[in-house]
Amino acid sequence: MKRIFTLLVALFSGVAGYAATMYYEKDYQKVWCSGHNGSMEVVLPDKARVDCVTNTHAIEFDFAKKWGESIGQALYYAAVLKKQAGIVLILENGVKDEKYLNRVNEVAKLYNISVWTMTPSEVQQN
């Protein structure tokens, strides 16, 4: 019985983590990518999927807390596609997310990564 309870708690904790965002990542992706004449979900030869590809950039979308993952993925996609790396960091938590944006920008300066941000209001407008 204890194992079942533990499993249920773990399962619902995971679901609650996803419900904490105002919109899905894909919602932000659709708005931004279409506004920049990009192609969504471009599949690479190794089956990795690039969130958005424009004429100049390979772009990874991530929520602010996943800032570190966005850097690695953007750099990899850019290397494979021979484009500039880009990140769209999704900021849903106002001031709390600023520290993550600062971290991304610090690394972006070193590796010439373009950084954009999106907030829920930008999705809501569309």
Cβ-count burial 95-122 (b if 16+ within 10 Å, e if not): eebeebbeebeebbeeeebbbeebbeeb
Look up tokens 């690039």; give the residue.
50
Predicted local confidence at residue 15, as pLDDT? 42
Examine residue 26 and state whether it is found in any structural domain, yes or no: yes
Predicted local confidence at residue 56, as pLDDT? 97
Predicted local confidence at residue 16, as pLDDT? 43
Examine residue 57 and state whether it is found in any structural domain, yes or no: yes
Examine residue 29 and state whether it is found in any structural domain, yes or no: yes
Predicted local confidence at residue 12, as pLDDT? 45
pTM for this predicted structure: 0.81
Examine residue 62 and state whether it is found in any structural domain, yes or no: yes
Examine residue 15 and state whether it is found in any structural domain, yes or no: no
Domain tally for the chain?
Answer: 1
Give the mean pLDDT per block of 10 residues along the chain (126 residues): 43 48 88 93 94 97 94 96 97 93 96 94 79
Examine residue 50 and state whether it is found in any structural domain, yes or no: yes
Residue pair 31/17 in contact (Cβ under 8 Å)? The answer is: no
Examine residue 13 and state whether it is found in any structural domain, yes or no: no
Examine residue 3 and state whether it is found in any structural domain, yes or no: no
Structural domain of residue 30, as residue ranges?
A: 21-124
